[in-house]
A and B are shown apart, each in its own frame.
Chain A
Amino acid sequence: METYQSLAKLPKLEKAWVKTLRPQASQNLLARQLEEIGFVPGEQVQVLSKALIGGDPMVVRVGQSTFALRQAEAQLIEVTQEP
């Protein structure tokens, strides 16, 4: 069974795969930017660390690179726990 959730809610160190980017109208540019830095469907992601207060910002490994993201950005990324 496949489960989807937003990257923002993915537990720390759990492996997941990018399913889609939620292209919300006002945030098209943001989605596009996320795509550019490697958040494309099928890519493996993993949350490496979260800030102490509110888990924002967070450190995410995507493919071979590591990025610091805000919660708002991570919420645009839908992930699935199976490749």
Chain B
Amino acid sequence: MTLHALTQQTMQPQAEPEDLQGQTLSALIDGELSDDMAQRSIKQLGQSAGERARIAEYLAIGDALRGLNAQPSDFTRRVMAALENEPVVLAPVPKASNRRPALWLAAATMAAITWGLWQSGPRDDVNVPLAALQQPASQSVEAQPYLAAHQDFAQAVISAPEMHFSKASLEVRQ
């Protein structure tokens, strides 16, 4: 328990006040919000043209950070498609050498999902898997092989469950 308390204390990702929106989104994606809260944030995110434009902007920023040249609309489409396919790719964020853009990317990615939720109308399941980003193979962590290897030892008959990445930034202190 001491260990647990310690890890809780030292390993919490650094919260930054101006990322409250991102935190809510993160909680939403993690399914940590109550139904009420989730409904409210989804509503809030998709309510106005201004919000929609902001989401589109986040997506564009995310694209730029990932070095993709696709139009935001294309990216959105791909996120939507990926949501349907629930693929098994973890996409790492760029190295934390400049942390702000990484956080922005996280926010953008989360917004992308909320966008998907909002666009496809109300769903029962708020905890939608965060879709894979179509990245060059060298820049992605494929979860599937690790899962398959792990399942040599763990209980597993059913095919690997869909993975999504939820918290893009994990503070590591040594």
| A and B interact physically | no
